[in-house]
Structure 1
Amino acid sequence: MLGCSPDNDSSNEPQAAAPWVRTLVVTDASPAFMKLSGTVKGRYETPVAFQVSGRILERHVDAGQRVEAGQLLFQLDPRDLLASVRVAEADMKTTEASLAIARSELSRQQQLVEGQFVSRQTLERYELTLREAISNHQATNAVLDQARNALDYAELRAEKAGILNAVVAEPGQVVDIGQALATLIDDSSLEVEVYLADGVDAPASGSVSIAGKSLAIELREVEASADPESRSWRARYRIEQSAEALSLGSVVQVMLDQPIQDTTFSVPLGALDERSQGPQVWQVIEGQVQPVSVEVLELNREYARIRAPLADGGRIVALGTHLLTPGMQVREQAR
């Protein structure tokens, strides 16, 4: 009977052979270094300002000049400050006289108490007068010290050696307390300042090239917030070695060690499959293909740079991805 014929038994039909696919081995395409331009800065950049207000009488330095510790930078007109010292000295003499009188009067009253010519209550009043005279003398002495210190502050000197930058003060200019007149840069400890794109973690180390020599650098700080206009993050790298050839303000090439995050790969455009919710590639594992979701970072005419959880040295399908299904058996033709 036809219904029992073995020719109609589908279980005996030959199985379709696994299709051939062209595969390739993926290799890590993550850049080893992040190449940036940086600016040489001083570790300490201290604003220079007077501790008193007044009119600038003399300016003894220029921008870019190297100064030594204690060197005179600016000088204020001292006339008003001298007048304050004279007033404080006059007040000091007045309180000294009052103090001497209070002591003398107290001594006289003590003698009268001993002779029982005045009461003990009267003596206590003179004791209070003496304590008040002592307090006035101490307060006046403090005012005199302040006036003398202010006179000393009329001469602005460098607290340490370095290079002056951004000198904005001129003779005749009236300045306030704390108004920045220049910036003193300590050139004994140099750093490199770079700006990182938003979302990029600052590498911990790297190098800077100068005069054919590579100097190691280490991350010291990253700005707490991004620049509101460029949306970039300022980072400072400490130069670990002596760098006599570096000059402040010079622009140098910086090579920062790329932070290890997700590995990136370069694959042919034909390896990308867009049939799912997002781009994917097909990884070959023990003769079967499995989809792997990827993030496309960059495209050109022939290749795509992707970020994916692939193992370096793993194999993916390079062509014909639109015919594949998860778990399909394939035969590999290595590229």
Structure 2
Amino acid sequence: MAEVAAPTLRLTGTVRARYETPQAFQVAGQIATRRVDAGQPVAKGEVLMTLDDSDLRQSLNAAKAELASARASAAVAQSDLERARTLFARDYLSRQAFDRAELEAQQRSDRQASARAQVEQAKTALAYATLRAESDGLLTRVSGEPGQVVGVGQPVARLAEAGPREVEVAFPSNVRPPPAGELLLGDETLALERRQVSGSVDPASRTWQARYRIDGALPAGVGLGEVVKTRFAAASDRRAAAAPLYRVPVAAVDARGEGAQVWRIVEGQARPLAVSVARIERDRALVSGEALKAGMAVIALGTHLLNPGMPVEALAPPGAEEPAS
């Protein structure tokens, strides 16, 4: 009986950034200029695209004019209020007239504050006509073109932020992504740690999408979008194998009674050992069990006739016997 390595699953993956953010304008309009291309590295605050801002500038001018008018109106109302206060103090003005002057001054002051806020909004909207990179990184996609009319929040580029890199792997629907694996880079391997798994199987590809952190730095030649090889421990029950597996002849597995077992000769008598069958491979079976050890000799024929304690004689001395493996 020989110990075998745990079965592995080899899949391809794609190198991704930890954060990949769509870049979009916060105001609608027509793209006037595009200053970047896909695959170009950018720095935080760098201009990516601009919109035609003629309408936004007109809105700002209108808001400024409204603010000037409101400021002048508020100044007149405040002057009238001061005059009314003086007259009211000398009993030359009724209480009702004074209250009316005070209310008018308050209303025009509120109008001035509203106009000032509209100016700030117009300035902000004008600034939004320039799309800037949110952080350092690499543009993996640029879809916006000059002359294109875009809406608020419509993605025009995709930014892979600088920082940690991950590997995205698609697992078959019948294999739950394991918590760890390995990234194979020629003669070098890097450990992978699962960060997240999709909440459900993708209905189109019938796969689980999983993201793995990379323990270590990638070689200089491995960039974003690179297809890489990965390796994971696989188990038929979707859990990592906890015990070593051993290969024995199929005929050595006795499935009578309360579960699978194999037989060995102990002091001339047959003794059963409980095992769990992991997989059947033609004429061999992969089994595990607490009492099993590599190199252990087991009875390969006639196990269905054996009973515990039955006298059994080996056909050849253990040293001359070819172990079943």
Could you tell me which runs of 5 or more consecutive residues in structure 1 were left unpaired when the two chains were aligned.
1-24
Structure 1 residues 62-86: Cα deviation after superposition (integer angstroms, max 9, x where no partner): 1111122222111111111112112
CA distance in 1 between partners of 2:253 and 2:100 (Å): 101
Q: Which residue of structure 2 lines up, in the alignment, with residue 129 of structure 1? A: 104
1:317 corresponds in structure 2 to 299
Partner residue, 2:156: 181
Correspondence 1:283-298 to 2 at 5 A = 283-284=263-264, 287-290=269-272, 292=274, 294-295=276-277, 297-298=279-280
The counterpart of 1:106, out of the listed 81, 85, 88, is 81
> In the alignment, is the contact (CA less than 8 A) between 1:112 and 1:118 conserved in 2?
yes
- In the superposition, relative to structure 1, how do residues 70 and 46 fare at CA in structure 2: closer, same or farther (>3 Å)? same
- Matched residue, 1:233: 208
Q: 1:138 to 1:165 in 2, by over 3 A?
A: same
260, 265, 279: which one pairs with 1:280?
260
- The 3 A distance-change label for structure 1 pair 57 and 281 is same
One-letter amino acid matched to 1:251: V
Answer yes or no: is the 8 Å Cα contact 1:266–1:305 preserved in 2: yes
Query: Which amino acid in structure 1 is aligned with residue 128 of structure 2?
Result: Y
Q: Cα RMSD over matched residues?
A: 2.7
Deviations 1:216-241 (A, max 9, x none): 33222222222223332222122232
User: How far apart in 2 are the matches of 1:105 and 1:239?
Assistant: 73
1:162-311 mapped onto 2 (5 Å cutoff) = 162-210=137-185, 212-243=187-218, 244-256=220-232, 259-261=240-242, 263-273=244-254, 280-284=260-264, 287-290=269-272, 292=274, 294-295=276-277, 297-300=279-282, 302-306=283-287, 308-311=288-291
Q: How many residue pairs get matched?
A: 306
Partner of 1:111, secondary structure, is: helix
Separation in 2 of the partners of 1:245 and 1:262? Answer: 38
Shift of 1:311: 3.5
How many angstroms apart in 2 are the aligned matches of 1:86 and 1:173? 25
Task: Please say if residues 26 and 312 of structure 1, whose CA atoms lie closer than 8 Å, have aligned partners that are also in contact.
Answer: no
TM-aligned CA deviation for residue 191 of structure 1: 1.0
Normalising to structure 1: TM-score of the pair?
0.81
Unaligned runs of 5+ in 2: 235-239
Q: Which residue in 2 is equivalent to 1:142?
A: 117
The alignment-based identity, stated in percent, is: 37
Contact 2:252/2:263, CA 8 A, preserved across alignment: no
CA–CA separation in structure 2 for the residues paired with 1:233 and 1:311: 37
**Which structure has the bigger radius of gyration?**
1
Q: Is the 8 A contact 2:17 2:166 kept in 1?
A: yes
Do the aligned partners of residues 91 and 269 (structure 1) sit closer, same or farther apart at CA in structure 2, a change above 3 Å counting? same
How far did 1:263 drift? 4.8
Aligned partner of residue 229 in structure 1, secondary structure: coil
Q: Distance in 2 between matches of 1:185 and 1:58?
A: 22
Corresponding position of 2:14: 39
TM-score normalized by the length of structure 2: 0.83
Q: 3-state SS of the aligned residue for 1:64?
A: coil
Distance in 2 between residues matched to 1:257 and 1:30, nearest whole Å: 7
Matching residue within 84, 89, 100 for 2:64:
89
Deviations 1:163-211, CA, capped at 9 Å, x for gaps: 1122111111111111111110124321111123335444333332335
Which amino acid is 2:195 matched to? R
Q: Which has the higher contact order (CA 8 A, sep 6+)?
A: 1
How far is the alpha carbon of 1:116 from its aligned partner? 0.7
Matched position secondary structure for 2:142:
coil
